[in-house]
Structure 1
Amino acid sequence: MLWVKSLHIIFVVAWFAGLFYLPRIFVNLAMETEAASRQRLLLMARKLFRFMTLLAVPAIVFGLWLFLGYGIGKGPGQGWMHAKLALVLVLIGYHHGCGVLLRKFERGVNTRSHVFYRWFNELPVLVLAAVVILVVVKPF
């Protein structure tokens, strides 16, 4: 079980690196006016989105393995796990939303400012803090 837990943590950390950095690329894309720089940023964003998607899959698989296979978070007094799973769904939605925003940038139809993306970039930080508190403290 410790191997599965370790792999889950490793892939979650790697996935979060992408969730933290891709919106920063969006900030730069929203401010960029030069075509060559814009294309370079789009290339970076596409590659990062593809890579972070590949990292999200094993993070979720190993998490499900822990939950379903080992029963971590099951039983009475495990409300923290339900809250954590809800936040994981939020992160999956955020990841998908990043893909939608990336496609808008690729088509040249982005309507949001760099300020929006600066705020958008904060959501995974808040979710990460909440997940860590839920897993470590297990408040309910």
Structure 2
Amino acid sequence: MLWVKAFHIIAVICWFAGIFYLPRIMVYFAASEHPQTRQQLAIMARKLYRFVTPIAVIAIVLGLVLMAFNLDYYWQAKWMWLKLAGVVALVVYHAVCGHYVAVMQQDSNHHGHVYFRIFNEVPVLFLVLIVVLVVLKPF
């Protein structure tokens, strides 16, 4: 079980690294006026999204495996339900990032760099929520 937990934590860290950096690329894309730079940033975003998506799946699958080891406890733990809601929100955020990556590929973005700077901060909130719930196990 410790190996599963270790690889779950590694996958979560890698997933967060990706969803922290991906919107940063979007900030640069929205702020750039040079077509070549925008094209390069769109390629970077597409490659990063394709790399980080399977890592997100691995993190989720390993998390579910960890839950299966003590399902009776996790089923009744309110903190776990809140954590899972946070994970679902992160999956939605990840999907929205995928939409923006597709928009970048078409060079049809309508959002400015300030929007993406704010958008970039969203996963930080979920990271704090999830870590606090896992460590403190309130309720």
User: What is the TM-score normalised by the length of structure 1?
Assistant: 0.95
Question: Hey, what does 2:62 align to over in structure 1?
Answer: 62
Residue 74 of structure 1 aligns to a residue in which SS? helix
Contact 1:73 1:81 in 2 (8 A): no
Question: Hey, what does 1:113 align to over in structure 2?
Answer: 112
1:79 and 2:78 aligned = yes
**Superposed structure 1 runs of 4+ greater than 2 Å apart:** 68-73
Residues 30-88 of structure 1 show CA distances to partners (whole Å, capped at 9, x for unaligned) of 01111111111111101100011021111011001011244285254x10000000000
1:38 is aligned with what amino acid?
R
Contact 1:4 1:62 in 2 (8 A): yes
Distance (Å, rounded) in 1 between the aligned partners of 2:12 and 2:88: 14
Question: Hey, what does 2:97 align to over in structure 1?
Answer: 98
User: What CA RMSD, in Å, does the superposition of the two structures yield over aligned residues?
Assistant: 1.2
User: What is the TM-score normalised by the length of structure 2?
Assistant: 0.95
Distance (Å, rounded) in 2 between the aligned partners of 1:58 and 1:70: 19
Residues 100-132 of structure 1 show CA distances to partners (whole Å, capped at 9, x for unaligned) of 011111112211110000000001011000000
Q: 1:32-71 to 2 correspondence within 5 Å? A: 32-71=32-71
Q: Which runs of 5+ in 2 are unaligned?
A: none
Task: Report sequence identity in percent.
Answer: 50
Question: Hey, what does 2:16 align to over in structure 1?
Answer: 16
Contact 1:8 1:58 in 2 (8 A): yes
Count of aligned pairs between the two proteins:
139
